[in-house]
Structure 1
């Protein structure tokens, strides 16, 4: 999975800002969203990202997986990412 070619990022104290240059729309990701998008663009599987989130935040594995999947759905819907996870 990768960022859409028209999307650029900037890290902030609280996470990451994504700007879709073609539409002019931007999104603010918190640290959780940043962990997800960083993992996706690094080639990690959803299970690997969920495991990392579960350990970091003390979440049950099932909840972490649902949270990761929700972020991925939102990123896809906004056309910020493309490709298979």
Structure 2
């Protein structure tokens, strides 16, 4: 899963105390991400690929590195399925 990811045009994103909150204006549904998930999204929106975002997290959290790549891919798939992120 490579390539640049962007916020869907009908989605609003705001910072919260705990991470990021998304509003899908088409469905009216909210999503909230914790700090790590928010970090992934910020990296992706700044131009990082899924793989480079996972690598950065592996460097920051070496104890979780076995699962980091899989978790980042899963998060991106879920956010795309919810139409929050687009390619």
Q: Tell me, yes or no, whether TM beats 0.5.
A: yes
Residue 54 (str. 1) matches residue 58 (str. 2):
yes
Q: Could you list the structure 1 runs, at least 4 aligned residues long, displaced by more than 4 angstroms after superposition.
A: none
Q: Distance in 2 between matches of 1:42 and 1:57?
A: 20
Listed as ranges, the gaps of 5+ residues in structure 2 are none
Residue 66 (str. 1) matches residue 64 (str. 2):
no
Q: Distance in 2 between matches of 1:14 and 1:56?
A: 19
SS at match of 1:52: helix
1:17 CA displacement: 0.3
Aligned length: 82
- Using the size of structure 1 for normalisation, the TM-score is 0.88
- Using the size of structure 2 for normalisation, the TM-score is 0.86
Residue 17 (str. 1) matches residue 30 (str. 2):
no
Match in the other structure for 2:80: 76
Q: Distance in 2 between matches of 1:6 and 1:78?
A: 12
Deviations 1:10-59 (A, max 9, x none): 11111100001121101000111111111111110112111111122222
